[in-house]
Amino acid sequence: MANFKANRTEEDILREMTAILRELKDPRIDPMLTVVRAELSRDLSDCKIFVSSLSGRDAAKQSCQGLDSASGFIRRELFHRLKIRKCPALHFVADDSIAHSAEINRMLHEIQPPVEEPQEKE
Please report whether residue 54 resides in a domain.
yes
User: What's residue 91's pLDDT?
Assistant: 93
CA 31 – CA 55 distance, rounded (Å): 9
Return left, alpha or beta for 83; rule: phi > 0 is left, psi -120 to 50 is alpha, else beta.
left
The pLDDT tens digits of the residues spanning 60-69 come to 899 999 999 9
Please report whether residue 114 resides in a domain.
no
Please report whether residue 116 resides in a domain.
no
Q: Report the domain count for the chain.
A: 1
Please report whether residue 17 resides in a domain.
yes
Give the structural domain span for 34.
4-109
Please report whether residue 121 resides in a domain.
no
User: What's residue 1's pLDDT?
Assistant: 37
Q: For the chain, which residues score pLDDT lower than 50?
A: 1
Please report whether residue 22 resides in a domain.
yes
User: What's residue 49's pLDDT?
Assistant: 94
Give me the CATH number covering residue 41.
3.30.300.20
Please report whether residue 66 resides in a domain.
yes
CB 97 within 8 A of CB 54: no
